[in-house]
Structure 1
Amino acid sequence: MDYQKLTEVMRRLSIEAGAVIMKIYEADDFEVKVKSDSSPVTEADEAADALISAGLRAAFPEITLVTEEQAASHLQMADRFLIVDPLDGTKEFVNRRGDFTVNIAYVETGVPTRGVVYAPARGRMFFTLADGTAVEETGALDPAMMGDVTPIRVGTPDNAALMVVASKSHRDQATDDYISKYAVRDMTSAGSSLKFCLVATGEADLYPRVGRTMEWDTAAGHAVLRGAGGDVVRFDDHSPLTYGKEGYANPFFIAYAPGVELKKP
């Protein structure tokens, strides 16, 4: 894989998809449909998916592409693949809360090694460079030219006063029960894969997810967090969270900065 090309293409497509999404988001109204799993899907999901899929297939025709909005792609299995959630956080989008993201990632032998997470309504863009390290790009985002990027790095946790981030739309008692095992200084909530990025920048130390997710929900954020020195493990036994699983469904997991003393369920 040409990682420099991959970085440029993923970044460009995420910005272009973000522009399409925001045009629909800022309209007076948009159509919301319900998928077979009862989750919502909008015309923004579909338009962003079409743009990203076409761009990735043109740039990397030899690489398997898995995307949330194309059910047939969920039957494919490969050691190396691109995986896309064109609009992660559709509930946040529908409710106009802003915490939705464009997620594109590249997985190699079970590990998401490169990725981009773009939150167009928040103006925040996180991605991995060709060498795998993670950065945040600020300022006006030009799809044709990378602007100012700042390396990001996980913080140094204080286990007597941890900062925890949890889901905005999927918070439940099981999550709260697990968080209660830690000494928490403060908590914040965020939608979509932004939670991984808050750990990656040191704005949070710990993100436990006790709930259903799919690999396209997490791969890009996981890649960014890895590039910033963090990690993601299974909730049950703290073994690595791997990708390319049959059906692309995840177990519960914990994203964290090294130094957090992880608690058992």
Structure 2
Amino acid sequence: MELERLIAQMRRLALQAGARIMEIYQAEDFDVRAKSDDSPVTAADEAADALISAGLSQAFPDIPLITEEQAASHARTAQTFLIVDPLDGTKEFVQRRGDFTVNIAYVENGVPRLGVVYAPAKGRLFYTTADGRSVEETGPFGDEPGQVVPIGVNPIPDNRGLMVVASKSHRDAATDDYIARYAVRDMASAGSSLKFCLVATGEADLYPRLGRTMEWDTAAGDAVLRGAGGEVVRFDDHTPLAYGKPGFENPFFIAFAPGVLLVKA
């Protein structure tokens, strides 16, 4: 399989899904329902999922596909697969705060190798190239890639004056207590997988997540951060975050620029 063709399709589908999401986002009203786990779902989640799933299944029928909105796919077991969150940050979408993304990733042998993160309301598009680097494409976006800028993490020598980014909708006391163990220059809040991308571009240095996430929430952003020179590790033992776990649920984790000296959990 050609990785160039894979990332090109992932990029194209993310942009198409983002356009459909924005049509619904800009409507005067839309329905919000609760799934079995009480998380919200909208017509935008479902429309984006249908578009992406159909495109990936047609182009790459031999690669297992895991997607948040199709519960049957969560029972699959694989180490190499495509994984999709068609609308990451549904709460941000519902509250019209703009911090939502389309996430598509290719995981190979448990490692997120390729990823696309598209934030349509913010006009920001991040992805990995076939050779493993990460870029941000500047709009306007078309069928063919436009101008791209290589991105990379901050080369921080120690923990003096870190820029920390944390969840906008899932912030808790445990996260604040952990952040307080660092010398922090400033803090920002962001929704969805944008937090990984802010570390990848050097706009932030540290993103700890002490809460429940699923692999479709993290795989694309993880790939972008790794391609920019960053790391994502488990919170408990600082080993790399692995993918293809039963049920696709993540442990707590830390995403960071490698110059950050992590404190013990």
> Which bin holds the TM-score, normalised by the shorter protein?
over 0.9
- The residue number in structure 2 matching 1:92 is 92
Q: Give the alignment's TM-score, normalised by structure 1.
A: 0.99
- The residue number in structure 2 matching 1:163 is 163
- The residue number in structure 2 matching 1:185 is 185
Separation of aligned partners in 2, 1:177 and 1:79: 34
Separation of aligned partners in 1, 2:31 and 2:147: 36
- The residue number in structure 2 matching 1:83 is 83
- The residue number in structure 1 matching 2:197 is 197
Shift of 1:224: 0.2
| Amino acid in structure 2 at the alignment position of 1:145 | E
| Amino acid in structure 1 at the alignment position of 2:3 | Y
- The residue number in structure 1 matching 2:44 is 44
SS of residue paired to 1:93: helix
SS of residue paired to 1:107: strand
Shift of 1:159: 1.1
8 Å Cα contact 2:65/2:81 also seen in 1: yes
Q: Give the alignment's TM-score, normalised by structure 2.
A: 0.99
Separation of aligned partners in 1, 2:181 and 2:210: 14
SS of residue paired to 1:126: strand
Moved more, 156-165 or 89-98: 156-165
- The residue number in structure 2 matching 1:108 is 108
- The residue number in structure 2 matching 1:18 is 18
| Amino acid in structure 2 at the alignment position of 1:105 | A
SS of residue paired to 2:72: helix
Shift of 1:79: 2.1
The aligned length equals 264
- The residue number in structure 2 matching 1:222 is 222
Shift of 1:160: 1.1
Moved more, 110-119 or 151-160: 151-160
Flag structure 1 segments of 5+ consecutive residues without an equivalent: none
- The residue number in structure 1 matching 2:213 is 213
Shift of 1:128: 0.5
Q: Which runs of 4 or more aligned residues in structure 1 lie more than 4 Å from their structure 2 counterparts after TM superposition?
A: none
Separation of aligned partners in 2, 1:2 and 1:54: 19
Separation of aligned partners in 2, 1:107 and 1:239: 17
SS of residue paired to 2:102: strand
Flag structure 2 segments of 5+ consecutive residues without an equivalent: none
Separation of aligned partners in 1, 2:214 and 2:163: 25
SS of residue paired to 2:115: strand
| Amino acid in structure 2 at the alignment position of 1:256 | F
Separation of aligned partners in 2, 1:252 and 1:166: 13
Separation of aligned partners in 1, 2:162 and 2:10: 33
| Amino acid in structure 1 at the alignment position of 2:104 | I
| Amino acid in structure 2 at the alignment position of 1:102 | V
- The residue number in structure 2 matching 1:257 is 257
